[in-house]
Amino acid sequence: MIKIFLTKLSSIKLAYQPLTRTLLLAAMAVVMSLSFSIRAAHANVSLMVLGDSLSAGYGLSQADSWVSEIARDWQANHPHLEIINASISGETTAGGLNRLPDLLERHQPSMVFIELGGNDGLRGFNLTTMENNLREMVALIESRNIKVALSEVEIPPNLGRRYTEMFKQVFHDVAEDMDIPLVPFFMREIAIDESLMQNDGIHPNLAAQPIIATIMEPQLRQLLEKEVLAEQASSGQTQFKQAKPTYLQTEFRQHKTGISQ
């Protein structure tokens, strides 16, 4: 009798195993869909930084870069905003243009901040080619209905005053002609302070990263609020209001920088 009972119990367990697996898979699917919905609701606006070693955190852990500093600030204080770091050391405008289509497809950002050109200048590349690359990037981004902003870039006067001035003017011309925001070069105040630079005299060190974040955070957030969130609000796509100033924005007022357009 006991043997018969155990045999029947075993058959019952086997019969219910497929049902148990089905219920478990269904529960996992629900949890995954909820997780996606929560993330989409909170990080509904993203900014992708397309830069070179100055934004990639050259010589440092990527977690210590100024972009990561802003990411942590936004996660804590502005969870509806997300910043994506697509920067790599040594990148040129040609390299950025080549990578851009895949990056846009992969990350689908609301806005792209281009911080490229420094390596073109340091290597003495043709400025017309550099300018054309920047223009193509802007055009490609805008063709996907994505907002774009451009960083001003400056280089040491090693290649002569004429080349240096022409180099700097490229960014102003592109921004003006294509009617996009131009953000002042964030290294302007950092590069003149040796205590904030690595031994190569080109890249900012670990101590400089929070300072750069202090300079850049309110500017990038302002761009998202003005260019993306305001447009979404007018079309009824979002109910988010412009964020209140944070401690980073308060500290930023001590710096003589701003956004021109």
- CATH code of the domain in which 108 resides: 3.40.50.1110
In-domain check, residue 184: yes
Best CA proximity match to 47, nearest among 244, 253, 225, 258: 225
Using the predicted structure, report yes or no on whether residue 157 has a pLDDT greater than 60: yes
In-domain check, residue 258: no
What is the pLDDT at residue 235? Answer: 64
> What percentage of the chain exceeds 90 in pLDDT?
69
Catalytic residue status for 120: no
In-domain check, residue 220: yes
38 and 100 part of one domain: no
74's CB contacts (< 8 A; 6+ apart) are 81, 82, 83, 221
Using the predicted structure, report yes or no on whether residue 198 has a pLDDT greater than 50: yes
Q: Provide the whole-model pTM.
A: 0.76
Q: Which of 73, 87, 120, 203 is catalytic?
A: 203
What is the pLDDT at residue 229? Answer: 74
7 and 91 part of one domain: no
The label of the residue with tokens 């412009």 reads 242
148 and 171 part of one domain: yes
8 Å CB contact between 216 and 186: yes
8 Å CB contact between 54 and 204: yes
Q: Which of 46, 53, 68, 110 is catalytic?
A: 53
Q: E strands within the chain?
A: 45-51, 81-85, 111-115, 147-151, 182-183
Residue 182 is classified by DSSP as: E
Cα separation, 230 vs 181, in Å, equals 15
More confident residue, 93 or 9: 93
In-domain check, residue 260: no
In-domain check, residue 53: yes
Using the predicted structure, report yes or no on whether residue 60 has a pLDDT greater than 50: yes
Question: What mean pLDDT comes out for the span 66-84?
Answer: 97
What is the pLDDT at residue 228? Answer: 83
Catalytic residue status for 203: yes
17 and 146 part of one domain: no
Q: Which of 61, 195, 200, 234 is catalytic?
A: 200
Cα separation, 150 vs 184, in Å, equals 9
33 and 161 part of one domain: no
In-domain check, residue 200: yes
> Residue 21 — pLDDT band, cuts 50, 70, 90?
low
Domain that includes residue 54, residue range: 44-252
146 and 208 part of one domain: yes
Count of the separate structural domains present in the chain: 2
Catalytic residue status for 11: no
